[in-house]
Chain A
Amino acid sequence: METKTHKILIVDDEAHILQVLSLKLRNCGYETTTAVDGKDALRQALTDTPDLIISDVQMPYMNGLELSNELSVNAKTAHIPVVILTARGHTLECSDTDIPNIKKVLGKPFSPRGVAELVAELLIDVPASSTCNSEAA
Chain B
Amino acid sequence: MFTELISISIIVSTTAIAVVAFFIAKKWKKLGAEAVAALQTAKLDADEAKANLESAKIHGCIDRTRRRQVEAVFDVLRDSVLVVDAHGEILHANGCAEGLLFVAPSEAAGMPLADVVIDHQLVSTISDARCGLPKEGRQYEQEIQVGGETVAYEVHLQSVGHKDEAMHAVVTVLRDLSREREIARLKSDFVSKASHELRTPLSSISAYIEMLVDGDAADETARQEFYAVISTETVRLQRMINNLLNISQIEAGLMHIDRERVEFGELVERAVRNMTPQAHAKSLDIHTELASVDLAVKGDSDMLYQVVVNLLSNAIKYTPEGGRVTLSADAENLTHSLHFSVSDTGLGIAPDQTEKVFDKFYRVENYRRVAQGTGLGLNLCRHIVETLHSGQIGVESQLGMGSKFWISIPVGECSVKLAA
Contacts and interface: CB of A to CB of B under 8 A. Distances in A.
Given A23-B216, A87-B196, A111-B210, A61 B203 contact: no
Contacts, number: 70
Contacts of B192: 88, 90-91
Contacts of A4: none
A113 interface: yes
B369 A87 contact: no
Nearest to B213: A113
Interface residue tally on A, bucketed by range: 20 to 34
Interface string B155-198: 00000000000000000000000000000000000001001110
A87 B192 CA distance: 10
Interface centre among B196, B207, B365, B366 (most CB of A within 10 A): B207
Interface residue tally on B, bucketed by range: 20 to 34
Contacts of B196: 58, 87-88, 91
Contacts of A27: 216
Dominant SS among interface residues on chain B = helix
A24 interface: yes
B358 interface: no
A113 B366 contact: no
B254 to A, nearest CB: 28
Contacts of A70: none
Given A87-B196, A91-B192, A113-B210, A108 B369 contact: no
A13 interface: yes
B406 to A, nearest CB: 26
Interface string B366-384: 1011001000000000000
Given A17-B207, A108-B200, A113 B214 contact: yes
Given A60-B369, A111-B207, A87 B200 contact: yes
Contact of B202 (A36, A59, A109, A113): A109
Contacts of A17: 203-204, 207
A87 B195 contact: yes
A2 B197 CA distance: 43
Given A20-B204, A109-B206, 5 more contacts: A60-B365, A60-B366, A87-B199, A108-B202, A108-B203
29 contacts: A13-B368, A14-B204, A16-B207, A16-B233, A17-B203, A17-B204, A19-B229, A20-B207, A20-B208, A20-B229, A24-B216, A27-B216, A36-B369, A58-B196, A60-B366, A60-B368, A61-B365, A87-B196, A88-B196, A90-B195, A91-B196, A108-B199, A108-B202, A109-B202, A109-B203, A109-B206, A111-B207, A112-B207, A112-B214
List the 4 closest pairs (A to B, CB-CB), nearest first: A87-B199, A16-B204, A60-B365, A108-B203
